[in-house]
DNA sequence: CAGAATGAAAG
DNA sequence: CTTTCATTCTG
């Protein structure tokens, strides 16, 4: 549908080739998409890896296609769509849910509902989206410096020449943009986009296509890359700090730059890619391993392999090699400068490792591997910064010498590399307690660095980062032993530091993997999953918020922080740690769905998952004990309904998984792309991009209707406008608040009428149609602000009443039944852990709001609210 | 293709 | 302030 427009455009432009009719629109360049993923700091590494994997997967076959796609992307105008704003993101993410709930509702109606939800959405949550949107925008802008949102007041694009010109204008980038001119975009607009693209000119090429091509090229001639570019990390300080997205953007831009330097930079990036690809290709053989050595690429390759399940043994071998004389090998191959650089770090690393070994002898060599892996991850986050000042200096010096000139570009490549090299110290530093880390001098260093990075990413938007604690957590990732890591996570949870938990997860995985020789490779994969990162992101974002920082942005985080001290513990922690998606399947051993099962298999194979499972199990138990089940139940119910169609919730959980698997496998069909799929399927690259995009999306919290309901509860009708108040609603000023309410009420009524007017909507009969009802219903259960609600309720249309009561009672009953634990498993199976986590978090949140301490039992207060659940409205 | 929503950007 | 446009998809 939409595609039509675009397609037209494309055809007009000359895409005509029209290879992909519509191709969803990758809003962002693939790079951006990846970046999005990166959002979560942790994930960054993973994401990158994933990206790489994808690239690899694409392999030669993919390259061409990818290129084309990239071209499309580049093809500036077309691809580059203005970044979605927060609301759109929200809509995109939740529309499916809404639709599920209200199948009959058409999009418009759904949009309205979404708007309502949006209004109700807690500011914090909103912020997440806004932040995301901002990041997107920033990344987008970076990628397309000259991008203009509006076609300069031209006439509407549609009218005369629908697309071509207007769009071009829109996207047209000012050539002046110092950075990259995405030549393709400019030139292409009228001349021949594809040509540019196709062209080997790396300089002209933009974004991924460039990288891909380069990568291939590099494969062919690895030397070149090494020679031209070095892993210059030097400049990077700034770049480093930047969020991954930016980095990607920069990279892409750099690649696109015609300037010589840019070329060099490209080479470096390309080189990396090449390495990756080479590694992957070689993976079959032992050699690749050597090369990769410590490099992130290598790790990625390993991950890929692991995912495939092809050769764990090889990886082991590699690892062993690395452990012994990884450097030497590297040197041998070490045409690449970066590797050389690595060596130095290696030294530092060795020392560090020694320390680490002391701390954790268990893993022994494996530990090294793990460390490496961890390092990679760390890179994302703190990466370079984390390193000791000494190391950094050395690196910098080297870098400066080698390639100070390539700032942007160097960054990406260098960062990765550095990461791999990065001092194992982190592990060392990592203490069981996030806080603890801070105390340690070493840790202190890290945090600072971390902050910087975060700042970069967020600084733009949020002046204040409070993520420090979280950062510390991340640092901790490197936990030495599995057990320790677990403990650490637990403790962290107890403390309420969500970020820490997340961090802990990864470490755990690593650890485990390390423990089980093979695991290492496998480990890499799972950890990479972005899910975790999401959570992290969330936490970060929240942290960013000054006011709310205390509260974890994510539900999960909230739950963890609050609940816990007492009982909850591990389970919950585990969840957060484990990526919601990934975790899901494992959590329910027996019940895991078939879909999940696939993922599980992989995971299980890895072995590290065990811990996750256990954690999940614990979490699950916890949830049950606390009474979260009720809420879960509600979700489940919803899910069932939806299941018929397509489960949003399932999608959440599975989505990532699917995407993940997809990436590895490289298969086409992903749920996401339903529309685009057919066309895009042919092109893996596009799919990849899409996937990534989705992932990013997924990273965004998807709130179950229940959530909204709850939210609604506090501020029932305000719905739209006041809605924002939801959680803390009353606090604002009551006076205005009430007035607002009235307004809202009117609006609502008007809307209602409006709907009524429309033939479709049956008034009472179907509660479904009125999503709004939910709100009303919610209103019924007043949490704290009873008065307003009551008033509202009274004033509110009768419609709600009738439905509400029934529904409410219904809900309550359901809740009661649900409370019984036994069912949980089924539920869990049904829902992804993420969903559970959300539920738990939500409940926690409520608790928090109330300021009532969580009862160990948990059931208590929340439960009543839980009833809110509400899915009642649906039916 | 219109249109429902929100928001960012540009005029 | 107003206009565009981003996403989504039924009618």
Q: How far apart, in whole angstroms, are the C-alpha atoms of residue A358 and residue A362?
A: 9
Task: Tell me: pLDDT of A106 over 80.
Answer: yes
Quickly state the pLDDT bin for A710 (edges 50, 70, 90). Answer: low
Task: Tell me: pLDDT of A317 over 70.
Answer: no
Task: Tell me: pLDDT of A224 over 50.
Answer: no
Among A610, A645, A556, which residue's Cα sits nearest to residue A832? A556
Q: What is the pLDDT of residues A269-297, one digit of tens each?
A: 323 333 333 333 333 333 333 333 333 43
Quickly state the pLDDT bin for A691 (edges 50, 70, 90). Answer: low
Contact A811/A867 with Cβ under 8 angstroms?
yes
Contact A480/A487 with Cβ under 8 angstroms?
no
Q: How far apart, in whole angstroms, are the C-alpha atoms of residue A542 and residue A467?
A: 9
Q: What is the pLDDT of residue A79?
A: 53
Quickly count: other Cβ atoms within 10 Å of residue A820's Cβ: 12
Is the CA virtual torsion A130, A135, A139, A141 positive or negative? Answer: positive
110-169 of chain A touching strand C, CB 7 A cut-off: 111, 149-151, 154-158, 166-167
Task: Tell me: pLDDT of A86 over 80.
Answer: yes
Q: What is the pLDDT of residue A524?
A: 33
User: CA A82, C1' B2: Å apart?
Assistant: 21
Q: What average pLDDT does range A476-494 have in this prediction? A: 40
Q: What is the pLDDT of residue A709?
A: 57
Q: How far apart, in whole angstroms, are the C-alpha atoms of residue A58 and residue A243?
A: 26
Nucleotide minimizing C1' to CA distance for residue A721: B6
Protein residue nearest nucleotide C9, by CA to C1': A107
Nucleotide minimizing C1' to CA distance for residue A105: C10
**Helical ranges in A546-683 per DSSP H:** 555-563, 570-577, 580-587, 594-606, 609-626, 628-645, 648-661, 676-682
Helix (H) or strand (E) holding A745: helix A734-757
User: CA A48, C1' B1: Å apart?
Assistant: 40
Q: What is the pLDDT of residues A448-463, one digit of tens each?
A: 333 333 333 333 333 3
Q: What is the pLDDT of residues A31-54, one digit of tens each?
A: 333 333 333 333 333 333 333 333
364-423 of chain A touching strand C, CB 7 A cut-off: none
Cβ of A22 near strand C (distance < 7 A)? no
Nucleotide minimizing C1' to CA distance for residue A153: B11
Measured in whole angstroms, the distance separating CA A33 from the mean position of its chain's CA atoms is 10
Cβ of A91 near strand C (distance < 7 A)? yes
Cβ of A95 near strand C (distance < 7 A)? yes
**Helical ranges in A455-593 per DSSP H:** 468-476, 482-495, 498-515, 519-528, 530-544, 555-563, 570-577, 580-587
| Both structure tokens of A503 | 């961090």
Q: Specify the residue for token string 């919950």.
A: A572
Q: What average pLDDT does range A755-765 have in this prediction? A: 35
Protein residue nearest nucleotide B9, by CA to C1': A149
Most confidently modeled range among A31-35, A253-257, A812-816: A253-257
Please tell me whether residue A764 adopts helix, strand or coil conformation: coil
Task: Tell me: pLDDT of A870 over 70.
Answer: no
The CB-side HSE value for A237 (13 A sphere, CA atoms) comes to 11
Nucleotide minimizing C1' to CA distance for residue A86: B7
Nucleotide minimizing C1' to CA distance for residue A115: B5
Q: What is the pLDDT of residue A116?
A: 85
Protein residue nearest nucleotide B2, by CA to C1': A108
Cβ of A153 near strand B (distance < 7 A)? yes
| Both structure tokens of A324 | 């012994």
Judge residue A580's burial from the number of C-beta atoms within 10 Å of its C-beta, 0-12 exposed, 13-18 middle, 19 or more buried. buried
DSSP-assigned states of every residue in A769-833: T-HHHHHHHHHHS-SS-HHHHHHHHHHS-HHHHHHHHHHHHHHHHHHHHHHSGGGHHHHHHHS-H
Nucleotide minimizing C1' to CA distance for residue A151: C4
Cβ of A154 near strand B (distance < 7 A)? no
Protein residue nearest nucleotide C2, by CA to C1': A153
- Mean pLDDT (chain A, rounded): 40
Q: How far apart, in whole angstroms, are the C-alpha atoms of residue A503 and residue A500?
A: 5
Cβ of A88 near strand C (distance < 7 A)? yes
Q: A372 in the Ramachandran plot: left (φ > 0), alpha (ψ -120 to 50) or beta?
A: alpha
> Could you give the C-alpha distances from A480 to A162, A513, A558, in angstroms and in order?
60, 12, 27
Contact A835/A619 with Cβ under 8 angstroms?
no
Residues 6 or more apart in contact with residue A786 via CB below 8 angstroms = none
Q: What is the pLDDT of residue A693?
A: 59
Q: What is the pLDDT of residues A584-639, one digit of tens each?
A: 333 333 333 333 333 333 333 333 433 444 444 455 444 444 444 334 434 443 34
Contact A539/A499 with Cβ under 8 angstroms?
yes
Quickly state the pLDDT bin for A575 (edges 50, 70, 90). Answer: very low
User: CA A306, C1' C11: Å apart?
Assistant: 48
Q: Which nucleotides of C are covered by protein (CB under 7 A)?
A: 3-11
Among A189, A202, A88, which residue's Cα sits nearest to residue A148? A189
Q: What is the pLDDT of residues A322-367, one digit of tens each?
A: 443 333 333 333 333 333 333 333 344 444 444 433 443 334 333 3
**Which of these ranges, A107-111, A127-131, A391-395, has the smallest mean pLDDT?**
A391-395
Cβ of A760 near strand B (distance < 7 A)? no
User: CA A324, C1' C6: Å apart?
Assistant: 54
The larger pLDDT score, comparing residue A243 to residue A334, is at A243
In angstroms, how far apart are the furthest CA atoms of chain A? 79
> Could you give the C-alpha distances from A248 to A20, A52, A110, A269, A415, in angstroms and in order?
25, 12, 34, 10, 11
Cβ of A76 near strand C (distance < 7 A)? no
Nucleotide minimizing C1' to CA distance for residue A159: B1
Q: How far apart, in whole angstroms, are the C-alpha atoms of residue A476 and residue A461?
A: 26
Residues 6 or more apart in contact with residue A815 via CB below 8 angstroms = A630, A633, A634, A863, A866, A867, A869
Q: How far apart, in whole angstroms, are the C-alpha atoms of residue A604 and residue A582?
A: 11
Q: How far apart, in whole angstroms, are the C-alpha atoms of residue A62 and residue A426?
A: 37
| pLDDT cut 70: percent of chain A above it | 8
User: CA A106, C1' C11: Å apart?
Assistant: 9
Quickly count: other Cβ atoms within 10 Å of residue A401's Cβ: 12
Q: What is the pLDDT of residues A141-179, one digit of tens each?
A: 877 777 777 665 433 333 333 333 333 333 333 333 333
> Could you give the C-alpha distances from A39 to A45, A529, A548, A662, in angstroms and in order?
10, 12, 20, 20
Q: What is the pLDDT of residues A548-573, one digit of tens each?
A: 333 333 333 333 333 333 333 333 33
Instruction: Indicate the DSSP class of residue A737.
Output: H
pTM: 0.33
**Which of these ranges, A77-81, A317-321, A718-722, has the smallest mean pLDDT?**
A718-722
Q: What is the pLDDT of residues A829-852, one digit of tens each?
A: 334 445 545 544 544 444 333 333
């Amino acid at each position: 549908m939409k595609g039509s427009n675009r397609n037209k455009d494309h055809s007009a432009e000359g895409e005509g080739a029209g290879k992909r009719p519509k191709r969803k629109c990758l809003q962002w360049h693939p790079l951006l998409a990846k970046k999005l993923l990166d959002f979560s700091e942790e994930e960054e590494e993973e994401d990158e890896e994933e990206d790489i994997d994808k690239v690899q997967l694409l392999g030669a076959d993919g390259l061409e296609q990818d290129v084309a796609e990239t071209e499309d992307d580049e093809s500036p105008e077309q691809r580059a769509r203005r970044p979605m704003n927060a609301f759109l993101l929200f809509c995109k993410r939740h529309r499916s849910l809404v639709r599920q709930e209200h199948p009959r509702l058409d999009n418009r109606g759904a949009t309205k509902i979404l708007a309502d939800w949006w209004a109700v959405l807690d500011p914090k949550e909103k912020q997440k989206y806004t932040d995301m949107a901002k990041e997107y925008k920033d990344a987008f802008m970076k990628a397309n410096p000259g991008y203009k949102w509006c076609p300069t007041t031209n006439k509407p694009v549609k009218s005369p020449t629908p697309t071509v010109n207007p769009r071009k204008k829109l996207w047209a980038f000012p050539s002046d943009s110092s950075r990259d001119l995405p030549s393709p975009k400019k030139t292409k607009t009228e001349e021949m986009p594809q040509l540019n693209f196709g062209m080997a000119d790396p300089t002209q090429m933009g974004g991924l296509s460039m990288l891909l091509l380069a990568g291939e090229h590099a494969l062919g001639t690895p030397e070149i890359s090494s020679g031209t570019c070095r892993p210059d990390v030097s400049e990077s300080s700034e770049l480093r700090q930047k969020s991954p997205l930016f980095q990607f953007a920069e990279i892409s831009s750099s690649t696109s730059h015609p300037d010589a330097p840019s070329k060099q930079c490209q080479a470096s990036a390309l080189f990396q890619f090449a390495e990756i690809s080479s590694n992957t290709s070689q993976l079959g053989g032992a050699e690749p391993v050597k090369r990769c050595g410590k490099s992130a690429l290598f790790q990625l390759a390993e991950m890929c392999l692991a995912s495939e399940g092809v050769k764990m043994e090889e990886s082991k071998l590699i690892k062993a090699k690395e452990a012994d004389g990884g450097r030497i090998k590297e040197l041998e191959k070490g045409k690449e400068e970066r590797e050389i650089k690595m060596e130095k770090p290696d030294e530092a690393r060795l020392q560090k490792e020694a320390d680490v070994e002391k701390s954790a002898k268990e893993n022994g060599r494996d530990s090294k591997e793990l460390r490496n892996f961890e390092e990679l991850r760390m890179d994302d986050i703190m990466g370079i910064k984390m390193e000791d000042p000494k190391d950094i200096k050395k690196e910098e010096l080297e870098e400066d010498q080698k390639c100070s000139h390539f700032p942007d570009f160097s960054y990406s490549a260098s960062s990765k590399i550095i990461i791999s090299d990065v001092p194992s110290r982190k592990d060392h530093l990592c203490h069981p307690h996030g806080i603890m880390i801070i105390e340690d001098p070493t840790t202190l260093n890290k945090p600072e660095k971390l902050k910087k990075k975060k700042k970069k990413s967020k600084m733009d938007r949020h002046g204040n980062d409070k993520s420090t604690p979280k950062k510390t957590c991340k640092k901790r990732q490197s936990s030495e032993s599995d057990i320790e890591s677990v403990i650490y996570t637990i403790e962290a949870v107890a403390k309420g530091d969500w970020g820490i938990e997340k961090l802990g997860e990864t470490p755990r995985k690593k650890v485990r993997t390390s423990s089980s020789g093979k695991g290492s490779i496998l480990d890499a994969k799972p950890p990479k999953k972005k899910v975790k990162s999401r959570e992290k992101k969330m936490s970060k974002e929240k942290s960013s918020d000054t006011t709310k920082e205390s509260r974890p942005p994510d539900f999960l985080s909230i739950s963890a922080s609050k609940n816990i001290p007492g009982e909850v513990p591990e389970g919950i922690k585990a969840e957060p740690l484990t990526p919601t998606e990934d975790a899901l399947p494992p959590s329910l051993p027996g019940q895991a769905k078939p879909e999940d099962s696939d993922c599980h298999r992989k995971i299980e194979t890895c072995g590290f998952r065990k811990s996750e499972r256990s954690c999940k199990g614990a979490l699950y138990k916890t949830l049950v004990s606390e009474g979260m089940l009720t809420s879960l139940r509600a979700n489940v119910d919803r899910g069932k309904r939806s299941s018929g169609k397509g489960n949003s919730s399932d999608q959440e959980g599975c989505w990532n998984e699917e995407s993940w698997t997809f990436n590895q496998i490289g298969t086409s069909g992903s749920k996401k792309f339903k529309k685009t799929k057919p066309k895009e399927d042919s092109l893996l690259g596009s799919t990849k991009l899409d996937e990534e995009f989705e992932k990013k999306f997924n990273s965004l919290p998807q709130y179950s209707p229940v959530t909204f309901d709850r939210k609604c509860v506090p501020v029932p009708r305000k719905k739209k406008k006041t809605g924002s108040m939801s959680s803390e609603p009353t606090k604002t000023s009551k006076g205005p608040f009430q007035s607002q309410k009235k307004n809202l009420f009117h609006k609502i009524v008007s809307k209602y009428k409006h709907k009524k007017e429309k033939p479709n909507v049956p008034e009472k009969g179907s509660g479904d149609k009125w999503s709004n009802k939910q709100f009303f219903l919610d209103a019924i259960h007043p949490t704290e602000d009873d008065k307003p609600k009551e008033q509202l309720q009274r004033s509110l249309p009768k419609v709600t009443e009738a439905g509400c009561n029934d529904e409410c009672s219904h809900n309550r009953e359901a809740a009661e039944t649900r409370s019984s634990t036994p069912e949980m498993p089924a539920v869990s199976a049904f829902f992804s852990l993420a969903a559970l986590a959300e539920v738990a978090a939500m409940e926690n949140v409520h608790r928090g709001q109330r300021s009532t301490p969580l009862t160990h039992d948990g059931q208590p207060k929340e439960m009543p609210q839980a009833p809110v659940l509400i899915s009642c409205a649906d039916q």
